Amino acid sequence: MRILKTWMGLFVGLIIVGGCGGGGSDSSSPMILSATGAAVALENAFPNLAFNQPVALLQHPTDTARWYVVEQAGRVLTFSDPMAVSADVFIDIGTRVTSGGEGGLLSMAFHPAFFVNGAFYLSYTGPGAPLISHIARFTSMDDGISADPLTEEIILSVDQPFGNHNGGHIAFGPFDGYLYIGLGDGGSGGDPFQNAQDTQTLLGAMLRIDVDGPVPYGIPADNPFVGSSTGLPEIYAWGFRNPWRWSFDIQTGSLWLGDVGQNQWEEINRVEIGANYGWNILEGNNCYPVDPCSTAEIAPPVVAYDRNQGVSVTGGYVYRGVVLPGLFGDYIYGDFGSGTVWRLTDDQQGGTTSEILISSGARIASFAQDHDGEIYLIDYGVGEILRLVPAP
C-alpha cells in the first residue's frame, strides 16, 4: 500500500469556483485527511499485475469478479482474480490502431444490454491524414471472456486534422442508454480551425447517439440541434479543447468532465445539454487569445487551476462508495503531470471548494469506478491500478 504521512494542518481549501490554488507532485508529500478525519491512501488493486501504458479500467457489467484493462497500443486484457499473476487477451486490435502521443486505443464501453447481445464499443485512432477517430462495435460470444476483432462494425469515423487532442472517451448514459462520445478540437495549438466553436463539425464536442436506432446509429430526439440547420444533430454540448476523461455520477446522472487546457488553465465542467463551454474564446475563466472577450451564453467551469498545480487535468468520478464515507458525493479528479488528486465538495454556499486529497506521484491517465462506487486510479507510467482506501 502507498502510505503517505498525514498532517491535519494541510487540509486546506485550494480552489473556489473561478479561482486556483496550490498542489504538489512529490510522492513523499503529505496526504490530506478527509472531513471525517479518516486518512486516505492508495493501494495496488491488482498487486501481481502490471500493464503496458494502461488508459482505462472497466468491470464486467454483471460478473463483478471480472476486470478489463485497456492498453493504448490496442489490447484489452481481462482477468477475474485480484491476485492473478497474469491476464488474458480479451481483444487485440493493435494492427488497426495508430498509437503514440495522444492517439491509440483510448476507451471501451459495454452496451447496457451486454448480457443479452454481447456488444461492446471501442474508441481508437487509426491511420488517416494524420489520424481518424473511430467508434466501433464488437461482439463477445462468451459473455466477456474473449472477443473476435472480425466482429468489428465501425459506426462513426471522424477525421483528425492534427495528431493530438483526440479526446476519445466513450460511455453510456446511466439513465438514457445513449452512447456519449467526447472529441477534442482536432489538435495543433489554439484551435486554428475554430472547431470547438463550430457546431457544423463534430470536433471539440460531446456527442450523444442512439446505437440501437437505425444503422449506423440514431439521433436522440432532444439533442439540441435536431431539426436545426445551425448545428450537427449528434452534438450534445460543445466548446471543448480536449475532453480526455469524463464520467457520469451513477446516482444522479450528472456529467462531469475534465478539459485539458492550452498554456495556463485546466478545468472541470459539469456538462449540460445544449451548453457551450467556451474554448477557444476562454481557457478556464480567462479570455483566450483576445482580452476582452464576450462570454455571453458560455457556461463557466466549475473549477479551474493554473500551471502551478498541474499541466493536464484527468477527469474522475463522483465517489459513491462506502469505504471512505467522508468522500461520499465528492467529485474526485487529478492531474497527469503533477500526480495531484483533488476532491471537489459542495461548499453549502451555492458553490464548490476543491481541496488536495493526495499527492500520488502517479502519471494519472484515468480514473475508474466499480459497481460499488469505489474509485481507482490508473498509473500510466508504471502500469499499476491503484485504489482509494482508508489509511491504517
What mean pLDDT is reported for the chain? 90
Which comes out higher in pLDDT, residue 264 or 38?
264
Residue 60: HSE in the Cβ half-sphere, 13 Å Cα cutoff: 20
Domains along the chain?
A: 8-47+159-390 (2.120.10.30)
The phi and psi torsions of 227 (rounded to 5 degrees) equal 80, 10
Q: Is 4 exposed, middle or buried (0-12, 13-18, 19+ CB in 10 A)?
A: buried
Q: Kindly tell me the number of DSSP H helices and DSSP E strands found in the chain.
A: 1, 27
Position 6 pLDDT exceeds 60: no
pTM: 0.91
Q: Which pLDDT tens digit goes with each residue over 267-300?
A: 999 999 999 999 999 999 999 998 999 999 999 9
In this predicted structure, what is the pLDDT of residue 27?
A: 32
Residue 152 reports pLDDT greater than 90: yes
Grid cell, residue 118, equals: 454481447
Cα–Cα distance measured from residue 257 to residue 313, given in angstroms and rounded to the nearest whole number: 10
pLDDT band at 232 (very low <50, low <70, confident <90, very high): very high
Q: What is the pLDDT of residues 153-172, one digit of tens each?
A: 999 999 999 999 999 999 99
Query: Which residue, among 285, 286, 249, 287, has the nearest Cα to 270 in the 3D structure?
Result: 249
Torsion sign, CA atoms 83, 85, 90, 96: positive
Cα 277 to Cα 295: distance, rounded to the nearest angstrom: 10
